[in-house]
């Protein structure tokens, strides 16, 4: 008998899905996949109770009818003692306790998965060891896309630079901006000849980014506490509809690249926290080092202000490199690691070589867009640590390989996962951030070495060397790899002096 996965949906997701006016596009993506995979869409009795409390009887009646499309849990699992323990530490309101009851259904295996955007639910899930079964919308979409590549219709997903005037203002994508800013349409039309970054999925606008460099003399009188004088990059407009393709991280790379190019000292954004999409965006920014600064008072209300220092001479956070990305630590170890050409361009689209065959890099898979990537290795040297630098060495395809093999990319180690006990652990560690397919991962990396299992390195894609990129022959000449034959398997450790020599050579060649 075929087992049907039971997915419990948080109340807020149901409300957004069944609302008369839907401005949350990612809800549509979520339900598309739930239906495509034939998962059972479940709701907790608490959801019915909460909806019944609405003051408008018409809304209550309409929503009650729509709830017939879901499977309501007939019984509630008794609250487990471990769940009670976590609840005592975290919960402070009646709503928190209600959320714990939803989580308890997962813990007691009454349902397989819970999807919720609530921060506290995810905190409690982590404490209960349920992080692999409790998802946000975007993480669930990433999961199902990576697990079902044959069912995925990418249909050309690409981030492109475009003029405001060429992006249709009437698109429903902008409805949420219009709700927040009365003057949005007027502001947008004035930007007609300025550049923005957009992404379309199935010909529907799904992401938009506008950044603006500002001088030290910019007027910030409506921001409290006041800004000190600095050259800044403002994230003027940013919205990403969750679709499982890591577009948010791709946009962060664009933001950081612009900040480097403009030589700013700080990046900032002002944002409301009214909707789940905004809260999720705030969480993403905080994950990459943005900190709450204060408020900005406007005619539309008070926005929160988040800032991120962007000084290359500032202290580097080696324990959490995302906080100071893309800057590199000066007192850490440096390694060269080899990557086969068929994997290289998929993982590092910005480091694509001019000598490679033309490809359509439309970043239509999560591993291309993600700044966080994984490398699977059987190397004997397993001493890499957070903050270390990895130089990506693309193995050449033509002979002599000393002219076709190149150093292309600088990366930063985020963490190392060792002592993997099962293939499932390896799969979970790699999923969404590697180009290696599941079957290949099992055959080549797990089954091939039954007594010597691999380990996984999580790393951040930081910089691409300019073209022409240093070749193995160049590495030999400048003394980074003195012996061309010394390109053994695994990681090749080099000194700081060798690294500095390589960087100077790469950028001097560019000039």
The full set of domain ranges for the chain reads 6-135, 158-309, 328-510
The pLDDT of residue 155 is 42
- Kindly state the average pLDDT of the residues 324-338: 93
CB 271 within 8 A of CB 278: yes
- Distance, CA of 452 to CA of 445 (rounded, Å): 10
Dihedral of CA 173/179/184/189: which sign?
positive
The pLDDT of residue 26 is 72
- Kindly state the average pLDDT of the residues 412-430: 88
Q: What is the 3-state secondary structure (H, E, C) of 301-343?
A: EEEEEEEEECCCCCCCCCCCHHHHCCCCCCCCCEEEEEECHHH
Q: For the packed helices 11-18 and 25-36, what is the interaxial angle rounded to 10 degrees? A: 100
The pLDDT of residue 486 is 55
Report the range out of 27-31, 135-139, 170-174, 230-234 with the highest average pLDDT: 230-234
Cis peptide before 326 (omega within 30 of 0): yes
What does pLDDT average to over the chain? 84
Binned at pLDDT 50, 70 and 90, residue 363 comes out as very low
Cis peptide before 468 (omega within 30 of 0): yes
- Kindly state the average pLDDT of the residues 237-250: 77
CA distances to 14, 200, 253, 323, 505 from 247, rounded to whole Å, are 25, 11, 10, 19, 33
Binned at pLDDT 50, 70 and 90, residue 325 comes out as very high
- Kindly state the average pLDDT of the residues 128-153: 77
Domain covering 158-309, topology? Aminopeptidase (3.40.630)
- Distance, CA of 391 to CA of 485 (rounded, Å): 18
Note if the pTM is more than 0.85.
Answer: no
Is residue 84 over pLDDT 80?
A: yes
Is residue 360 over pLDDT 80?
A: no
Binned at pLDDT 50, 70 and 90, residue 262 comes out as very high
The pLDDT of residue 353 is 45
- Report the first-to-last Cα separation within the chain, whole angstroms: 66
pLDDT above 70 coverage of the chain, percent: 84
- Distance, CA of 182 to CA of 178 (rounded, Å): 6
CB 356 within 8 A of CB 377: no
User: Which has the closest alpha carbon to 18: 68, 66, 56?
Assistant: 66
Binned at pLDDT 50, 70 and 90, residue 112 comes out as very high
- Distance, CA of 140 to CA of 30 (rounded, Å): 8
Please provide the CATH number assigned to the domain covering 6-135.
Answer: 3.40.50.1010
Report the range out of 68-77, 200-209, 225-234, 477-486 with the highest average pLDDT: 225-234
Whether 328-510 and 6-135 are alike in CATH topology: the answer is: no
Of residues 52 and 203, which shows the higher confidence score? 203
Q: How many residues does this entry show for the chain?
A: 511
The percent helix, strand, coil of the chain (3-state, each to 5) is 40, 25, 40
Over residues 170-225, the pLDDT tens digits come to: 988 999 999 999 999 999 999 999 999 998 877 788 889 999 999 999 999 999 99
The pLDDT of residue 221 is 94
- Kindly state the average pLDDT of the residues 237-254: 79
- Distance, CA of 147 to CA of 333 (rounded, Å): 35
Token code pair at residue 257: 């690249």
Of residues 78 and 14, which shows the higher confidence score? 78
CA distances to 113, 326, 331 from 257, rounded to whole Å, are 37, 9, 24
The pLDDT of residue 442 is 84
- Distance, CA of 438 to CA of 171 (rounded, Å): 38
Of residues 370 and 322, which shows the higher confidence score? 322
Over residues 443-459, the pLDDT tens digits come to: 888 888 777 888 999 99
The pLDDT of residue 431 is 66
Cis peptide before 400 (omega within 30 of 0): yes
- Kindly state the average pLDDT of the residues 437-442: 78
Return the CATH superfamily for domain 328-510. ph1033 like domains (3.10.590.10)
The pLDDT of residue 93 is 92
Residue 421 dihedral angles phi and psi, to the nearest 5°: -95, -25
Buried (b) or exposed (e) across 470-485, using 16+ Cβ within 10 A?
bbbbbbbebebbeeee
User: Which has the closest alpha carbon to 373: 246, 240, 198?
Assistant: 246
Angle at the Cα of 367 from the Cα atoms of 119 and 202, rounded to 5 degrees: 85
CB 58 within 8 A of CB 65: no
The pLDDT of residue 368 is 54
Report the run of H or E that residue 260 belongs to, with start and end. Answer: helix 247-262
Of residues 396 and 53, which shows the higher confidence score? 396
Query: Which residues are 337's β-sheet partners?
Result: 392, 491
Query: Which residues are 233's β-sheet partners?
Result: 213, 267
Structural Rg of the chain based on CA atoms: 25
Q: For the packed helices 11-18 and 45-52, what is the interaxial angle rounded to 10 degrees? A: 60
Q: What residues contact residue 110 under an 8 Å CB cut-off, 6+ apart?
A: 6, 73, 77
Over residues 488-510, the pLDDT tens digits come to: 567 888 999 999 999 999 988 55
């Amino acid at each position: 008998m075929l087992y049907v996965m039971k997915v419990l949906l948080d109340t807020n997701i149901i409300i957004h899905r069944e609302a008369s006016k839907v401005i949350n596009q990612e809800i549509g993506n979520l339900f598309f996949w739930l239906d495509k995979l034939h998962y059972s869409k479940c709701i907790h009795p608490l959801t019915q109770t909460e909806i019944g409390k609405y003051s408008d009887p018409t809304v209550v009646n309409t929503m009650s009818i729509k709830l017939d499309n879901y499977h309501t849990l007939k019984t509630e699992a008794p609250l487990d003692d471990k769940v009670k323990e976590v609840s005592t530490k975290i919960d402070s309101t009646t709503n928190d306790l209600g959320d714990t009851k939803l989580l308890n259904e997962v813990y007691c295996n009454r349902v397989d998965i819970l999807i919720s955007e609530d921060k506290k639910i995810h905190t409690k899930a982590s404490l209960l060891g349920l992080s692999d079964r409790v998802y946000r919308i975007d993480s669930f979409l990433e999961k199902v896309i990576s697990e079902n590549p044959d069912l995925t219709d990418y249909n050309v997903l690409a981030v492109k630079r475009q003029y405001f005037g060429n992006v249709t203002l009437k698109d429903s994508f902008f409805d949420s901006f219009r709700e927040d800013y009365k003057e949005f349409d007027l502001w947008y039309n004035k930007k007609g000849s300025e550049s923005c970054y957009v992404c379309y999925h199935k010909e529907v606008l799904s992401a938009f980014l506008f950044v603006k460099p500002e001088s030290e003399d910019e007027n910030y009188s409506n921001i409290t506490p006041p800004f000190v004088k600095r050259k800044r990059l403002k994230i003027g407009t940013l919205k990403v509809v969750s679709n499982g393709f890591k577009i948010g991280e791709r946009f962060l790379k664009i933001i950081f690249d612009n900040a480097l190019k403009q030589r700013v000292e700080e990046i900032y954004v002002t944002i409301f926290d009214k909707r789940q999409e905004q809260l999720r965006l705030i969480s993403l920014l905080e994950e990459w080092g943005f900190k709450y600064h204060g408020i900005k008072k406007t005619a539309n209300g008070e926005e929160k202000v988040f800032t991120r220092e962007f000084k290359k001479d500032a202290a580097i956070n080696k324990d959490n490199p995302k906080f100071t990305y893309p800057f590199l630590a000066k007192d850490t170890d440096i390694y060269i690691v080899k990557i086969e050409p068929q994997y290289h361009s998929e993982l590092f689209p910005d480091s694509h070589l001019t000598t490679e065959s033309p490809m359509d890099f439309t970043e239509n898979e999560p591993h291309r867009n993600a700044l966080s990537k994984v490398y699977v290795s059987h190397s004997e040297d397993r001493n890499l640590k957070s903050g270390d630098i990895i130089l990506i060495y693309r193995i050449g395809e033509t002979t002599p390989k000393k002219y076709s093999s190149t150093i292309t990319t600088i990366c930063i180690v985020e963490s190392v996962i060792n002592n993997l006990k099962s293939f499932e652990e390896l799969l979970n560690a790699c999923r969404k951030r590697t180009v290696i397919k599941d079957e290949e991962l099992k055959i080549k990396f797990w089954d091939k070495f039954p007594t010597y299992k691999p380990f996984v390195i999580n790393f951040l894609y930081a910089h691409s060397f300019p073209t022409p990129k240093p070749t193995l022959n160049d590495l030999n000449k400048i003394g980074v790899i003195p012996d061309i034959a010394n390109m053994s398997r695994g990681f090749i450790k080099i000194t700081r002096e060798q690294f500095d020599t390589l960087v100077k050579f790469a950028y001097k060649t560019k000039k």
